Structure 1
Amino acid sequence: MALSKKLFKHSTRFFAAIVSALIIWAALNQGSSATFFTRIEYLLYDVRFNLFLPITKQEQSDHKIAIIDIDENSIINEGRFPWSRQKVATLIQKLGEAGALVIAFDVVFSEKEVNPVERISHAVPAEVFNQLPPQQWQSISSMADADEVMANAIAQHDVVLGFFFQDQQEYQNGQLPPAVFDVPSAWQEKLVITQRPGYTANITGLQSQAGGGGFVTMFPDFDGTVRRAPLLIRHGDQLYPSLALSAAMRYLFIDSLEPQVVEVGDVLAMTQVAVSEFPAPTSPAGFVTVPYQGPAFTFPYFSATDVLRNKLEPQALEGAIVFIGTSAIGLADLRSTPMGPQYPGVEVHANILHALLSGGFPYKPEWQAGATFLQLVLIAIFMIVVLPMLGPMVMLVGGSLIIMLVILFNGYLWTLGLDLPMAGALILTLFLTATFITDGFLKENASKKMLKGMFDQYVPPAHIDKMMADPDSYSFSGESKELTVLFSDIRSFTNISETLSAQELKHMLNSYFTPITKEIFDRNGTIDKYVGDMVMAFWGAPIDDKNHRGNAVLAALNMQRITEELKVAFKQEGLPEVNIGVGVNTGLMNVGDMGSSYRRSYTVLGDAVNLGSRLESITKFYGAKILIGEDTFDHIEGFVCRFVDRIQVKGKEEAIRVYEPLGLDGEVEQSVLDEISQYEQAYQLYLKQDWANAKDAFTLLHENNPLKLYEVYIERINDLKHQTLPAQWDGTFRHTSK
């Protein structure tokens, strides 16, 4: 017995040690790029990047980097994109005149532009075409050749053209720029750098005149976010630079480079690429972490149309490296990044160039794996030994402190430029804290079961869990707050009950109430009471629910769907058909644990509650399945509702609008939407007291769909057209019965 107690005492620690070992193994062996740990790591990476950005942001460097933006304004003023190469040539010339040193295009010119002279030569008769000498036509053709004009402009300036690498070898279009490094024969089978067999490059006439070229291919992580980018990609036996790296080389008058590699077993892994005094640390595949300097538009942007129209401030681009790209939504070069989901792709290249010239690349050191393992082991040992000795609240505080220390230490290393993983340490700490806190709170399980037994008759299970987790936050004393109430009643229940035995009636009601109650609970509702065939529920207490209106209306729609399904089952059992009416209303209500010293109930009271009951009762009058009040309707979204009437219920002087929900947006047939539109037009005729046309409109609606609602208005029109109505008549109908 003593041995079993001792084993039981240490069973939680043993379990924690086993799972901790598994967590450490998983954190250090992320075989798939889409593992759970990787997903969490990416999330933490993005949060950390934004959180520490003000600390790690580089000071403005001596190198001016700007972006020439083909924005929406440029497209409006200059015409749709792609523009003629002649306009692009003008843009290059204007940038050169403005003092730009290097012009890098985040645009690929992979197809020739049609020469208008060639088009004319095929369009006009030969006798007309031959009126000019061939030399003259050739001269005109040369002047009109947009590709040649752009090539001449490129030749006069230091231009870097972008191109795409492709995964498929069959795509090899255009001319690649000169490579920056020839892979030695000794490296051929060892170098592990990213390779791509295909490409889509610029036409020969343009690339041959350019100072260089760089790939603009993006490599998002599996979640679509661009966090890392390659500086070099291998094609064949040569390495080609990214657009940012090529621009840096042109700016620094570098024609070739040699990446630094280390031998790891039988392979060569790249470690860094240097074009300035600030080497860029890379992954073995040649990737760098993109050192974002801030959100989109952190770098200076100049609209392309302003450049073309000479609207730049003097010296704005003097001595600058400029990237030409787009932030226009329609041109599809917006990327998801840690800085946000709509980040111009051209600015990704600008960030990389900034770090190539001024430093600031975060990197993973070679000792990362060992440091991570040591950190995880120390956390596991400390928590497994110490936490079981503490009380639950102290455990929570201790676990929170460890998490805070992990975050602060990791953030401090980040400010030093070190990118170390954090997900494993946080998950391990959270797991161990949760495990030992759970073990401690199991001792209090009996009292929580008592609390659950008191309230699970009318509170959803999810609500009970929240209440037990923080009981001090919930009060069952009376309070006044805005809630939504729902009443549901089986129609003609008296007649149904007379045809069934007591046992059959009990079976039918149980079969009905069970799925209806589940639906209310699933929508975060609270059951108030069952009275015979009536169900009363409300939303917004004891747990606050910002969407209490929408949840109540959705529950009402689903209750009608459930009832239709029950009809089939009841018919098979020989039970009567069941139909229900539902009333939903929102307003200020008194809610709390009310009753006597003998019996109490958590319930709602007030005029808004009474109005909800009235709405349920008049569903029969209009032939509607569900009626909701105007306060409910005015604050819900995503539902298709039909206006029913403007009414005064018995005992109330204030008129309200009443609506019938028909379904969710996108789930209601177009014919029903068209019918609602026709009904609204008919109702407007009714309000204008155009009785003849209103009656014709409602009659036509009734012929197409014999709803009782249309009958109500036809009968009402027949009565009202013989009455003298007040000048301010607004169509309100007074219900004289409950």
Structure 2
Amino acid sequence: MLGRWSYLAAVLVPLFAILALGLSQASRLDDVRNLIFDSYQRVSPRPWNPQTPVRIVDIDDESLRRIGQWPWPRPRLGELVQRLGQMGVAAIGFDMVFSEADRTSPENVLPLLPETPGKSLIQRELASTPGNDQTFADEIGTAPVVLGSILTGGTAEVTYPVKFGIASAGDDPLAFIPHFSSAVLPLPGLVEKAAGIGALNWLPDRDQTVRRVPLVLRVRNQIVPGLALESLRVAQSASTFLIRASNASGQTTFGARTGINAIKVGAQEIATDPRGEIRVRFSHTEGARFVPAWKLFDGSVDSNEIQGRIILIGTSAAGLLDQRATPVDASVPGVEVHAQLIEHIVEGYSLIRADWAVGLELLIAALAGLAIAILLPRIEAAGTAVLGLAAIATVIGGSWYAFSHNGVLLDPLFPTITVAAVYLSGVLSLYRAEQKQKRWVREAFGRFVAPAVVEQLTKDPERLVLGGETRTITIMFCDIRGFTAISEGMDAVALTTFMNTYLTALSEVCLDHKATLDKYIGDAIMAFWNAPLDDPDHASNAARASLDMIIALAALNARWKAEADVSGRAHKQVRFGIGLATGSCSVGNFGSVRRFDYSAFGDDVNLSSRLEGASKTYGVEILASRPTREAAPDFAWLEVDAVRVKGKTEAVRIFTLVGDATVANAEEFRRHATDHAAMIDAFRSRRFAEAAERAAMLSKSRFDGLSRLYDYYVEVSRKFGVEQPPAEWDGVTEFAHK
């Protein structure tokens, strides 16, 4: 009975706690939800349609280079308007505010000139010449132009120009629309000639990502359209916006003031959120959406790109700092946000977070959590996990379906967290015995089995049997050179301390690079990679470990020398050899029923041991087989020889490891590797005098640990130069023993 109540508490407490959190803190989860909904858009962005009736005339860096620095004289912009009008544009929207007079206009430049007779002459000549702003205004009056404004929180009282009519149905929309107290407007002369005025504001979220764009905003008690909505009105030659809010005819809200539902302009009826905003279904930024301004001036733009379209004029130039983040792009020109909003509307896309969404999410979370709580004691944990995952997958799939097919945003995270919390709490309550069994496995086997193996055994105790599996691994053997000489004079305590210090330092390096430590054989270390856990970079990790072991041994030698100097003892430098081989081996639990270890067997295990021994002959610290070198191609390798080990008929090409990728990419190493390859080729081609000469030259290189290798080749080449090898000699060195 106590167990049953304990289980109920374990599952119901987190369930009700999470549901209460969802009810009371729903809005605070919006930041997380935004990340999820953004990921949906990144997975399935709105495809860009080349036939969309929107283009951007882009004042890009190339246009600034060709035409001149910004701002351009207003007559130049007027010429832009003129060319667009001649090409049959439906509407022209400026993503900029012409709130100040053109400083390049002659009447503004004239006061800056010195008082000379020439100035008076110029003044008389300009008396009958219209200024730049007037010229621009005249051009605006000949085309369907929408100018931009910016709404602010300032105190200056402004009269926002009315180019449109506003009608509403239902509750007063002023109560729901984002409010501003002032505005920055274009010059009165420009306003008079413009067909429309649109606000450029948008309201980014806290992470400064633009997800929603307002169609309408409020300046004091006046409703004004955004640039996109006003451009749609002008393009359709419409005169009025109709705003439908809650409690309008046909709306069932039972008296609740839920906000704006839709805005109608011309033939377009646009569903909005309660604040009159649209959550835009973004596409990736698309180069074909942009028409560089300089191409309009030189007449190279196809009129089909302009005729009948809404043209927005803005800038992508980096220096003009009009860049915004969207859910699918980290940085796009601000004008593109307006363009994508128009595309979203015209192409009939919808992306809404319905007011009933939170209630539905809570209901799904409660039902799924209760289902898991009921089923968990009745079926195995694995089965319940499958059901839980199926429930989570269903929630995520339903959320994705709602997004991709209906444009509705439903949060999958909240129900997922609920299911996971109930499941985890229930499992912890019901399966304490299983946890005890895992602790027993750790305690019983952790003393003599590699930690990674212990972790697998706790997940699958049935693997505590004899047998193994065949897989490709990289094996390392590392052995101290001249251990007998080093250990002479050490008593048992000193030798134990020495070995523990040495083995601990080098074992830590191996473990840091994902190795499984197989065993210690006296002063030798055997380790391997890619078992029992998968390690796709096993050869590279073994190579990095080998290089770091050299560094670790150098640090140990420095420490031991300092200790010897203090005590007045002679210090014997400790050196080792490493053999690396990669190939298919049998790995698993080997031994008797009562006693077994996780280990590896196979030809390449033997080969790595042979290579460790052969490193003495060649005077290098690391020798590796060709498969190891090919599986770690980014490192600095040099071919050492081709050898035939005892019991094998095929020769094995062996390599020494000089350094990491930084060394491999260095020009000095590349030249050295070329010269080294020429020395090897000369040796195998029986040009022994040349091989000896090249080896002698190479021995003077700055690369550490290679001089003894080249001394070996000098000696062997000179010997073969005097005592020619047998006629059947194929350039392969025979190794009859380890």
* 3-state secondary structure, aligned to 2:533: coil
2:220 and 2:400 map into 1 onto residues whose CA distance is 41
- Shift, 1:428, TM fit: 0.5
User: Which of 524, 531, 535 is the matching residue for 2:525?
Assistant: 535
Instruction: Tell me if structure 2 keeps the 8 A contact 1:679–1:701.
Output: no
1:164 and 1:700 map into 2 onto residues whose CA distance is 73
Instruction: Tell me if structure 2 keeps the 8 A contact 1:591–1:602.
Output: no
- Shift, 1:20, TM fit: 1.9
For 1:66, the equivalent position in structure 2 comes to 54
String of CA shifts for 1:490-545, please: whole Å, max 9, x gaps: 45544443344334433444445446545544543222222223222222223222
**One-letter code aligned to 2:529:** W
Instruction: Tell me if structure 1 keeps the 8 A contact 2:26–2:358.
Output: no
User: Aligned pair in 2 of structure 1 residues 180, 491: CA closer, same or farther (>3 Å)?
Assistant: farther
* 3-state secondary structure, aligned to 1:428: helix
For 2:728, the equivalent position in structure 1 comes to none
1:528 and 1:519 map into 2 onto residues whose CA distance is 14
**One-letter code aligned to 2:338:** H
Corresponding position: 1:278 with 2:269: yes
Corresponding position: 1:318 with 2:310: no
For 1:589, the equivalent position in structure 2 comes to 584
User: Which of 480, 485, 493 is the matching residue for 2:475?
Assistant: 485
- Shift, 1:559, TM fit: 4.3
Corresponding position: 1:422 with 2:412: yes
For 1:392, the equivalent position in structure 2 comes to 381
Corresponding position: 1:7 with 2:2: yes
Corresponding position: 1:433 with 2:430: no
User: Which of 33, 53, 64 is the matching residue for 1:41?
Assistant: 33
Instruction: Tell me if structure 1 keeps the 8 A contact 2:664–2:670.
Output: no
For 2:22, the equivalent position in structure 1 comes to 27
Corresponding position: 1:648 with 2:642: yes
- Shift, 1:424, TM fit: 1.0
* 3-state secondary structure, aligned to 1:419: coil
User: Aligned pair in 2 of structure 1 residues 695, 478: CA closer, same or farther (>3 Å)?
Assistant: closer
User: Aligned pair in 2 of structure 1 residues 405, 691: CA closer, same or farther (>3 Å)?
Assistant: closer
1:15 and 1:73 map into 2 onto residues whose CA distance is 63
Instruction: Tell me if structure 2 keeps the 8 A contact 1:626–1:661.
Output: no
For 1:669, the equivalent position in structure 2 comes to none
User: Aligned pair in 2 of structure 1 residues 508, 478: CA closer, same or farther (>3 Å)?
Assistant: same
User: Aligned pair in 2 of structure 1 residues 160, 517: CA closer, same or farther (>3 Å)?
Assistant: farther
* 3-state secondary structure, aligned to 1:388: coil
Counterparts of 1:316-395 in structure 2, within 5 Å, are: 316-324=305-313, 337-339=326-328, 346-356=335-345, 360-395=349-384
User: Aligned pair in 2 of structure 1 residues 181, 122: CA closer, same or farther (>3 Å)?
Assistant: closer
Instruction: Tell me if structure 1 keeps the 8 A contact 2:612–2:622.
Output: yes
- Shift, 1:362, TM fit: 2.9
1:601 and 1:501 map into 2 onto residues whose CA distance is 31
Instruction: Tell me if structure 2 keeps the 8 A contact 1:485–1:585.
Output: yes
Counterparts of 1:174-573 in structure 2, within 5 Å, are: 194=178, 210-214=194-198, 216=200, 220-221=204-205, 225-232=209-216, 241-253=225-237, 271-272=260-261, 274-276=263-265, 278-284=269-275, 287-292=277-282, 294-297=283-286, 307-308=296-297, 310=299, 315-324=304-313, 337-339=326-328, 346-356=335-345, 360-411=349-400, 414=403, 415-445=405-435, 448=438, 461=451, 464-465=454-455, 469=459, 477=467, 480-490=470-480, 493-514=483-504, 516-560=506-550
1:622 and 1:118 map into 2 onto residues whose CA distance is 88
User: Aligned pair in 2 of structure 1 residues 400, 709: CA closer, same or farther (>3 Å)?
Assistant: closer
User: Which of 156, 165, 179 is the matching residue for 2:142?
Assistant: 156
Instruction: Tell me if structure 2 keeps the 8 A contact 1:280–1:361.
Output: yes
1:474 and 1:175 map into 2 onto residues whose CA distance is 84
Instruction: Tell me if structure 2 keeps the 8 A contact 1:67–1:325.
Output: no
Corresponding position: 1:709 with 2:700: no
Instruction: Tell me if structure 2 keeps the 8 A contact 1:275–1:356.
Output: no
Which stretch of structure 1 is more off in the superposition, 12-21 or 613-622?
613-622
- Shift, 1:14, TM fit: 0.5
2:467 and 2:406 map into 1 onto residues whose CA distance is 55
Instruction: Tell me if structure 2 keeps the 8 A contact 1:64–1:319.
Output: no
Instruction: Tell me if structure 2 keeps the 8 A contact 1:104–1:324.
Output: yes
Instruction: Tell me if structure 2 keeps the 8 A contact 1:540–1:548.
Output: yes
2:331 and 2:323 map into 1 onto residues whose CA distance is 5
2:106 and 2:145 map into 1 onto residues whose CA distance is 28
User: Aligned pair in 2 of structure 1 residues 586, 685: CA closer, same or farther (>3 Å)?
Assistant: closer
User: Aligned pair in 2 of structure 1 residues 483, 340: CA closer, same or farther (>3 Å)?
Assistant: farther
* 3-state secondary structure, aligned to 1:537: strand
1:106 and 1:261 map into 2 onto residues whose CA distance is 29
Which stretch of structure 1 is more off in the superposition, 17-26 or 646-655?
646-655
For 2:85, the equivalent position in structure 1 comes to 96
For 2:685, the equivalent position in structure 1 comes to none
- Shift, 1:99, TM fit: 1.9
String of CA shifts for 1:550-582, please: whole Å, max 9, x gaps: 333344455455556666877898797986657
**One-letter code aligned to 1:157:** A
String of CA shifts for 1:593-647, please: whole Å, max 9, x gaps: 375657654434455545544665577788876666665555558x7x5455543
User: Aligned pair in 2 of structure 1 residues 735, 710: CA closer, same or farther (>3 Å)?
Assistant: farther
User: Aligned pair in 2 of structure 1 residues 121, 181: CA closer, same or farther (>3 Å)?
Assistant: closer
User: Which of 642, 645, 658 is the matching residue for 2:656?
Assistant: 658
String of CA shifts for 1:433-471, please: whole Å, max 9, x gaps: 333345555444566567657875687645654565468
**One-letter code aligned to 2:599:** T
- Shift, 1:210, TM fit: 4.6
User: Aligned pair in 2 of structure 1 residues 411, 116: CA closer, same or farther (>3 Å)?
Assistant: closer
User: Which of 603, 606, 610 is the matching residue for 2:599?
Assistant: 603
String of CA shifts for 1:403-449, please: whole Å, max 9, x gaps: 24434554565545543333111111122233334555544456656
Instruction: Tell me if structure 2 keeps the 8 A contact 1:16–1:435.
Output: yes
User: Which of 659, 668, 674 is the matching residue for 1:678?
Assistant: 668
For 1:668, the equivalent position in structure 2 comes to none
User: Aligned pair in 2 of structure 1 residues 259, 573: CA closer, same or farther (>3 Å)?
Assistant: farther
User: Aligned pair in 2 of structure 1 residues 653, 84: CA closer, same or farther (>3 Å)?
Assistant: farther
User: Aligned pair in 2 of structure 1 residues 273, 528: CA closer, same or farther (>3 Å)?
Assistant: same
Which stretch of structure 1 is more off in the superposition, 70-79 or 6-15?
70-79
**One-letter code aligned to 1:134:** I
Unaligned runs of 5+ in 2: 248-252, 680-689, 725-730
- Shift, 1:100, TM fit: 1.7
1:227 and 1:577 map into 2 onto residues whose CA distance is 69
- Shift, 1:101, TM fit: 1.0
- Shift, 1:584, TM fit: 6.7
String of CA shifts for 1:325-357, please: whole Å, max 9, x gaps: 567899887765444557665443233224545
Instruction: Tell me if structure 2 keeps the 8 A contact 1:280–1:356.
Output: no
1:709 and 1:100 map into 2 onto residues whose CA distance is 75
- Shift, 1:66, TM fit: 2.0
1:149 and 1:468 map into 2 onto residues whose CA distance is 82
2:118 and 2:241 map into 1 onto residues whose CA distance is 54
**One-letter code aligned to 2:642:** Q
Aligned residues: 693
Instruction: Tell me if structure 1 keeps the 8 A contact 2:466–2:590.
Output: no
- Shift, 1:583, TM fit: 3.9
- Shift, 1:386, TM fit: 3.7
**One-letter code aligned to 2:143:** H
Unaligned runs of 5+ in 1: 1-5, 666-671, 727-731
**One-letter code aligned to 2:706:** L
How much is the aligned-residue C-alpha RMSD, in angstroms?
Answer: 5.9
